């Protein structure tokens, strides 16, 4: 959801930039899916990672599934950067139909909040690791797998922190007003100019009324 108006430099005042620590948190959140994605792609390519892949179509459709899941997860995590970048407030102009329009705050806050909640519900139950899971590796291979998936525990909480910061920044801008005062209409000042003192080309009569000054002719 985007607003119907297109922002212009003369009518819109940009929100304050996020704090540096919030930007760092957003970048960390975007990288939480990278280790597990690399591990999953390696397994899909047939590289021995200790996971029992017997009965799986490798190489084959399961390989494509591993690659798609990894790229999809990384793409979703990269959306966190939109909460600290300008394109999270104004749609980039190269996007057809809606390019250049302002993003409604709730259009970003609601999906991000739901995503953070779902992530924590899915990932936190696996905080103890994958030991004992069907097909899971053992020994050092299990340690490597757990280490690759452990950053996912941070994805949900970090996304929640960045979302709250984004909401507060956009809310503060809405509260302060997002329109710059335009130059006054010349018609608004017409009444003031009409009541101004007479110019040098007129002189006051005996009754205070302005009368034209005579001009000598040759």
Give pLDDT tens digits for 44-83: 999 999 998 888 888 899 999 999 999 999 999 999 999 9
Greater pLDDT, 204 or 97: 97
Greater pLDDT, 178 or 106: 106
The mean pLDDT of 114-140, rounded to a whole number, is 88
| C-alpha 193, offset from chain centre | 48
Reply yes or no on whether the pLDDT at 144 is more than 70: yes
Q: What is the mean pLDDT of the chain?
A: 79
Greater pLDDT, 93 or 214: 93
Q: Is 0.85 topped by the overall pTM?
A: no
Position 175 scores a pLDDT of 55
Reply yes or no on whether the pLDDT at 85 is more than 90: yes
The mean pLDDT of 146-157, rounded to a whole number, is 95
Reply yes or no on whether the pLDDT at 106 is more than 80: yes
Position 133 scores a pLDDT of 77
CA distance 45 to 67: 9
The dihedrals phi and psi of 90, each to the nearest 5 degrees, come to -130, 125
| pLDDT-above-90 percentage for the chain | 54
Position 2 scores a pLDDT of 53
The mean pLDDT of 116-138, rounded to a whole number, is 87
């Amino acid at each position: 959801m985007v607003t119907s108006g297109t922002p212009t430099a003369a009518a819109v005042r940009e929100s304050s930039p996020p704090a540096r620590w919030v930007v760092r948190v957003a970048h960390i959140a975007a990288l939480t899916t990278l280790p597990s994605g690399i591990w999953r792609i390696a397994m899909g390519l047939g590289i021995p990672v200790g996971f029992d892949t017997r009965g799986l179509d490798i190489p084959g459709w399961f390989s494509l599934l591993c690659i798609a899941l990894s790229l999809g997860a990384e793409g979703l995590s990269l959306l966190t950067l939109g909460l600290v970048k300008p394109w999270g407030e104004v749609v980039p102009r190269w996007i057809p139909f809606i390019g250049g329009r302002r993003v409604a705050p709730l259009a970003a806050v609601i999906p991000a909040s739901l995503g953070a909640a779902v992530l924590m519900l899915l990932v936190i139950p696996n905080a103890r690791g994958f030991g004992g899971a069907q097909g899971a590796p053992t020994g050092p291979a299990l340690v490597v797998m757990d280490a690759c998936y452990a950053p996912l525990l941070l994805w949900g909480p970090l996304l929640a922190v960045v979302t709250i910061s984004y909401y507060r920044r956009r809310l503060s801008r809405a509260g302060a007003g997002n329109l710059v005062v335009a130059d006054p209409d010349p018609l608004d000042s017409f009444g003031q100019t009409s009541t101004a003192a007479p110019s040098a080309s007129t002189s006051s009569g005996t009754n205070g009324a302005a009368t034209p000054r005579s001009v000598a002719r040759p």
